[in-house]
Amino acid sequence: MNAQTTIETPKREKLVVIGNGMAGCRAVEEVLERDADRYDITIFGAEPRVNYNRIMLSPVLAGEKTFEEIVINGQDWYDDNGITLVGGDPVDHIDREAKTVVSRSGRVEPYDKLLIATGSDPFIIPIPGNDLEGVVTFRDLDDVDTMLAAAEKGGDAVVIGGGLLGLEAAHGLSLRGMKVTVVHLMPTLMERQLDEAAGYLLRQELEGRGQTILTSANTKVIHGVEGKVVGIELEDGTKVKADIVVMAAGIKPATGLAKGANLECERGIVVDDHMVTSDPDILAVGECVQHRGACYGLVAPLWEMCRSLADHLTEQPSGYEGSVTSTKLKVSGIDLFSAGDFSGGEDCEDIVMRDASRGIYKRVVVKDGKIVGAVLYGDTADGNWYFDLLKKEEDISDIREALIFGQAFASGGGALADPNAAVAALSDDAEICGCNGVSKGKVVQCINGGAHSLDAVRSTCKASASCGSCTNLVESLLAITLGEDAVASGPKTMCKCTSFTHDDVRRLILEKELKVIPQVMQELHWTTPDGCSSCRPALNYYLLCAWPGEYEDDEKSRFVNERLHANIQKDGTYSVVPRMWGGLTSPKELRAIADVVEKYDAPMVKVTGGQRLDIFGIKKEDLPAVWADLNAAGMVSGHAYGKALRTVKTCVGSEWCRFGTQDSTGLGVKIEKMTWGSYMPHKFKIAVSGCPRNCAEATIKDFGVVCVDSGYELHVGGNGGIKVRATDLLCKVETEEEAMEHCAAFIQLYREDAHYLERTAPWLERKGLDWIKSQLFDDPERITRLAARFRLSQKYWQVDPWAGRAAGAHKDLHSHIAEIRPLEMENA
């Protein structure tokens, strides 16, 4: 029997990490990248969670992100790398002699190398009442959950501290519906990052959003009743009501464990350039450390520390020499950048640009021909460039005169230079993503490695995966590296209030069964409390389309012309357009119009291009009475002012014309009576021409019918407006009934798929005629189902001309849910 030779796997060194936060896990990532098999790793975390991005707690509080969206390393990362995660059981003490750590539960873990990454502790102002229920800090997810629970009840919030964290907490609570007061000790908000001018602009913006800002305000006491906070009192006697008080007055390095182990500590745990403490087998990294006398509370230095630490643990020569930091505020709609020293002095010169009308302020501080500080407010596009020049201490004397106008101008390109040129000129080690510490070179390497879209870059190297403020830089690098035409760019978001696209919103309304606008905004993490003039009408339309009969039309979310069923004119009066079916009228209707013109002293009546009469000069206060008079004559709104069916234009057809092949007028009236009141993503026009001479101009309408000897040609996607577009031929049918069925099905497909304010022409070009045909014709029953959904929804969409209330609404919706479910649900 032959003896078998056994090759033993070398025993790996034991690396224990105290801290499951951003610094600790990033250090582990860096070690794994260099030598994945070197260490057997155990990570202790105080929270019972995987590693998440603490920088993004502010967007979670504001409702812009969920916890799942800010997770950096899920459980699969720990499992795939053989890492033992001990969550919710923080380390209680370190035994340096035995080289073990002992957790709160009594777990003893030996180590060969120990990494302390305990971060920082919030500074609690030593004033009476700081231990009351309702006084909370802002450091972890539990703090966010506490604030969210308070915000659900509404009321008043006081944030003590007008620095980065404090303002982000105030923003989140304000978006959650609380009345927020910020109390700041210093005269200027974010005084460590902003000068007085930029601080003033920031204060103006925040006050404009409804927050109360108290500067030069020292908190004296926090008042409570029965152990629960009720308000604060300032040194000057001012009292402010509060249901919750957020302490955001600063942080201090968490050095308790290190001091207990007799490691050298000053303000922080003292480390050398390799992140090694006074014990050669114990390292420290992140906010808990002090390096060359400096402690850092921003993320970029942490990443630089982690790289040096990983080099040391894998025996690669390197060293950390300290960091120059920059700051951005994560409050939606506020562009703010700060870097370096802007205190100025005798040896410094300030280069300043102000644009008051646009709310832009730029200040660059120069000393000995080099940038030493920069403050940007309102336009931060050149922040990375200034920061790169500052870090590298480059001489800017040659571009001194153009420096304040930005990189494109300073490099000789002028104001109209290629916007990507500035990014192209950045050095490879220039920081692109501060949240995740990703350089330009790493992003380019990622793109060249196959990440050819924004989402691919985010998932590969994490650039732009957190706060998103560097998205434009990443997109520029994609364009520079791949060429403009090669970039797989994603669709634009619905508006600035959300990160979702129109398609996302429509899909999620159905998937999550969201049935009112506030619910949509809450579930989909809107960044504004009430939306904007772009998203509210769109949401109102999408909900109407998704839940006919269940969703109640929100009048406030309609454009004023739609609400009033009249078109406002430049002199403040309104024009009124009653509907004339297929362009036909009668003596009764003409008399009613004439009576209205005389009764309300309308100065002009005009025949429109859509074969109707437009009554001009009606006062707003007379509109209800005007419509009441027109209603009495049987006339309804022509919706010449709505995102709806406008007109069905016809020619006289075979009834009168010697060239007419079919009864185009009769068919046009039938189609209009079938489709009127149909709210749409945009205005919608139909025409029926009685022969190929096309007198009704059917081939430049959203849906056009051209009558021929053998039946009817159906055309779609035309536009006679600013950008004229001829229709595409959809199909030919033989009967009026088929023409009407296809019209209803096409409209319903457009309703259920198009983006709000997207006409059929750009929708068709975006989706493609082949896609539209496939949706209508691949399934023999699809036309019937779409038309049935259209007809049933019309019971709820046809509206009274003045009040906007559903006319003849039926209550049997739930028995027909399968019939009317929108296309997205059908295709799910």
Binding-site positions for [4Fe-4S] cluster read 651, 657, 691, 695
* Residue pointed to by tokens 């109209």: 416
Element (H, E) at 231: strand 228-234
Contacts for 539 with CB less than 8 Å, ≥ 6 apart: 505, 517, 520, 521, 531, 557
Residue ranges of the alpha helices (H) in 710-811? 736-753, 760-767, 769-777, 782-797
Q: How many residues does the chain have?
A: 828
Binding site for siroheme, residues? Answer: 695
Q: In whole angstroms, give the CA distance from residue 115 to residue 113.
A: 7
Cα–Cα distances (Å) from 272 to 264, 278, 313, in that order, read 11, 9, 14
Diameter of the chain by CA atoms? 118
**DSSP tag of 629:** H
* Token output for 461: 């190297």
* β partners of residue 244: 157
Q: In whole angstroms, give the CA distance from residue 244 to residue 132.
A: 10
* Token output for 794: 């019309």
| Alpha-carbon dihedral sign for residues 101, 102, 103, 104 | negative
How many CB atoms within 10 Å of residue 225?
9
Indicate the SS3 state at residue 341.
coil
Q: In whole angstroms, give the CA distance from residue 667 to residue 688.
A: 7
DSSP string covering 761-776, please?
A: HHHHHHH-HHHHHHHH
CB 690 within 8 Å of CB 657: yes
Cα–Cα distances (Å) from 137 to 134, 212, 244, 659, in that order, read 10, 20, 10, 81
**DSSP tag of 117:** -
Q: In whole angstroms, give the CA distance from residue 377 to residue 385.
A: 15
Indicate the SS3 state at residue 303.
helix
Indicate the SS3 state at residue 289.
strand
List, edge to edge, every strand of the sheet that includes 91-95: 91-95, 100-103, 108-110
- The beta strand positions in 117-210, using DSSP E, are 120-122, 135-137, 156-160, 179-183
Residue ranges of the alpha helices (H) in 330-466? 383-392, 407-410, 419-424, 440-448, 454-461
Q: In whole angstroms, give the CA distance from residue 122 to residue 137.
A: 7
Q: Name residue 504's amino acid.
A: D
CB 158 within 8 Å of CB 242: yes
List the one residue out of 480, 487, 405 whose CA is nearest residue 440.
480
Q: Name residue 577's amino acid.
A: V
Beta strands 684-689 and 645-650 are: parallel
List the one residue out of 792, 770, 666 whose CA is nearest residue 717.
770
List the one residue out of 338, 331, 333 whose CA is nearest residue 374.
338
For residues 766-777, one letter each, b for 16 or more C-beta atoms within 10 angstroms of the residue's C-beta and e for the rest, the string is ebeeeebeebbe
For residues 716-744, one letter each, b for 16 or more C-beta atoms within 10 angstroms of the residue's C-beta and e for the rest, the string is bbbbbeeeebebbebbebeebebbbbbbb
Binding site, residues? Answer: 651, 657, 691, 695
Residue ranges of the alpha helices (H) in 153-248? 164-175, 196-208
Measure the CA dihedral 812/817/823/824, to 10°. Answer: 130
